[in-house]
Amino acid sequence: MSNKITVGTQKSSRIWPVLLAGSLSMFFAEVFSGASPLWFIDAWSIIVTFPLYTFHLLFFLNLAMRCKRLSLESLYLWGVLFSFYEFWITKVMWCGFFGEEPLLGTFLGIAIFEFIVLAFFWHPIMSFMLPIFVYEVLTAENNGVMIIGHKSLLSKTRRNKALAIYLVIVG
């Protein structure tokens, strides 16, 4: 009987890291863009969007880890692969930002400027890389897991603090 409790506890404890990673990806992608600021109370977001971001993040992070390609440049390229799948189902790709006309027009129905922003900035950085980095920072204290190449970027130094402030101001 105690074995069943232990097994149940182990299985349930595995879901929390997945939910955290998915929530971070959803937060940085959907909340920051204004697409789903209250995603956690919206049925469509919970049933479709949240699992989509979660599985995409975990799938491409798993591939990156298996291939041992975890440098910043490699994670960016994994994020671009993530975005090349993800942006096809994003309405911005077809309609422009905020449902207005696409900024630079369209090519074969695809909004040119919006494609560039989604494919090479928003999804790779906001939906993939940033959630991974924040996850590493949030969980490093508990289980000591931090990817070696990211430690210098994520450690608390004056340079990193100044860079973070700069990015917030520019953003």
Instruction: Look at residue 73 and tell me whether its pLDDT is greater than 50.
Output: yes
- Expressed as residue numbers, the domain containing 18 is 2-145
Q: Per-residue confidence at 4, pLDDT binned at 50, 70, 90?
A: very low
Indicate whether 152 belongs to any domain: no
The average confidence (pLDDT) of the chain is 77
Helix H or strand E encompassing 75: helix 72-86
- Reduced to 3 states, what is the DSSP secondary structure of residue 111? strand
Q: Which residues, 6+ apart, have CB-to-CB distance to 90 below 8 Å?
A: 118
Instruction: Look at residue 150 and tell me whether its pLDDT is greater than 90.
Output: no
Q: Could you give the number of structural domains in the chain?
A: 1
Would you state the pLDDT for residue 1? 40
Pair 111, 96: CB distance under 8 Å = yes
User: Could you report the per-residue pLDDT of 10-35, keeping only the tens digit for each?
Assistant: 555 778 888 988 999 988 888 877 77
Would you state the pLDDT for residue 63? 93
CA dist 110 and 96 (Å) reads 9
Which whole number is the average pLDDT over 77-105? 75
Indicate whether 75 belongs to any domain: yes
- Reduced to 3 states, what is the DSSP secondary structure of residue 110? strand
Indicate whether 164 belongs to any domain: no
Instruction: Look at residue 162 and tell me whether its pLDDT is greater than 90.
Output: no
Indicate whether 80 belongs to any domain: yes
The pTM of the full predicted model, rounded to 2 decimals, is 0.74
Q: Per-residue confidence at 143, pLDDT binned at 50, 70, 90?
A: low
Indicate whether 17 belongs to any domain: yes
Instruction: Look at residue 103 and tell me whether its pLDDT is greater than 80.
Output: no
Which whole number is the average pLDDT over 69-82? 88
Residue closest to 124 by CA, chosen among 156, 84, 83, 94: 83
Which whole number is the average pLDDT over 57-86? 88
Would you state the pLDDT for residue 10? 52
